[in-house]
């Protein structure tokens, strides 16, 4: 996969938008199909800016495109004409695209987590096997306390504390250094979270021999599907997850992992909030 430095990305966006503006201003066939095509080409740098730099980049690029396009759009469009309102609508679409696409990729970046440690260890079938899913920090500690308080008296139980960690494309980061920094940060945070939850479970009275700790790397699929695949692979008797708080925008764009698990899981699912 081709990776560009931040300075190269900025140069590509600036060069593209200036090149399109040059074509637009040198086209004399206003209100023709050629002019309409030139107008639509402004979406290319806007979408690139939003993809690479999020909402700020998308809005900056869309405003720059609007400023460059406005004089050309108004030159041969009488005020109040259909073409006049069509051009104003196009400028509004420029900024809407920059805002919403940029917001989407900002939200995608907030979902970034990394780790690895796949395994083939067999799960003991003589016990009740519980899959404790850790895919975010949201209410994970509360879920660990719930397990410690409610399952410590059971001796024939195995708790598998499993971190489901998703790798995002390096293109979501401006530079390789930012990608590596996010890599280290995400791994460190997950390690600390796993250690803390395991400590809570053990302090609750569950034997260390009955607690397993694993991480699974996720790439190219959703966390919910990965959890369901793990359940089917290990034939777990129950899934326990912490309730993750999401904004309406996040839930609309990415879906709610916990809801997807409840709908599809072939075993009981306990969500701790």
0.85 cut: is pTM over it? no
Of 4-13, 82-91, 152-161, 175-184, minimum mean pLDDT range:
175-184
167: DSSP letter? P
pLDDT at 135: 79
Radius of gyration of the chain (CA): 25
pLDDT at 240: 93
Interior angle at CA 162, CA 160 and CA 165, nearest 5:
170
Instruction: Delineate the domains of the chain, giving CATH numbers in brackets.
Output: 6-110 (no CATH), 128-272 (3.40.50.620)
Question: What percent of the chain lies above the pLDDT cut of 90?
Answer: 18
Of 117-131, 169-183, 229-243, minimum mean pLDDT range:
117-131
Residue 118 has pLDDT above 50, yes or no: no
Quick one: average pLDDT of 4-20?
85
Share the mean pLDDT of the chain.
80
Residue pair 196/141 in contact by the 8 Å Cβ criterion: yes
Quick one: average pLDDT of 253-269?
85
Across 30-44, 88-102, 220-234, the highest mean pLDDT is recorded for 88-102
Q: Is 239 helix (H, G, I), strand (E, B) or coil?
A: strand
Quick one: average pLDDT of 75-98?
80
Per the model's pLDDT, the better-predicted residue between 43 and 7 turns out to be 43
């Amino acid at each position: 996969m081709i990776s560009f430095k931040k300075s190269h990305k900025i140069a590509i966006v600036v060069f593209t938008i200036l090149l399109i503006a040059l074509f637009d201003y040198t086209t004399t066939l206003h209100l023709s199909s050629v002019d309409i095509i030139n107008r639509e080409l402004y979406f290319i740098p806007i979408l690139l800016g939003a993809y690479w730099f999020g909402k700020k980049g998308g809005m900056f690029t869309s405003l720059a495109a609007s400023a460059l396009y406005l004089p050309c759009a108004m030159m041969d469009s009488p005020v109040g004409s259909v073409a006049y309102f069509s051009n104003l609508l196009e400028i509004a679409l420029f900024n809407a695209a920059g805002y919403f696409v940029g917001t989407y990729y900002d939200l995608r970046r907030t979902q970034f987590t990394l780790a690895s440690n796949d395994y083939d260890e067999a799960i003991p079938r003589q016990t009740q096997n519980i899959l404790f899913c850790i895919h975010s920090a949201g209410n994970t500690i509360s879920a660990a306390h719930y397990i410690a308080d409610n399952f410590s008296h059971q001796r024939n139980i195995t708790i598998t504390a499993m971190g489901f960690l998703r790798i995002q494309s390096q293109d979501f980061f401006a530079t390789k250094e930012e990608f590596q920094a996010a890599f280290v940060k995400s791994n460190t945070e997950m390690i600390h979270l796993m250690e803390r939850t395991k400590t809570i479970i053990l302090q609750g009275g569950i034997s260390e021999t009955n607690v397993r700790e694993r991480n699974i790397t996720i790439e190219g699929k959703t966390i919910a599907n990965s959890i369901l695949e793990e359940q089917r692979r290990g034939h777990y008797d129950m899934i326990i997850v912490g309730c993750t708080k999401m904004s309406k925008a996040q839930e609309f764009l990415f879906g709610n992992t916990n809801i997807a698990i409840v709908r599809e899981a072939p075993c009981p699912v306990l969500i701790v909030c």
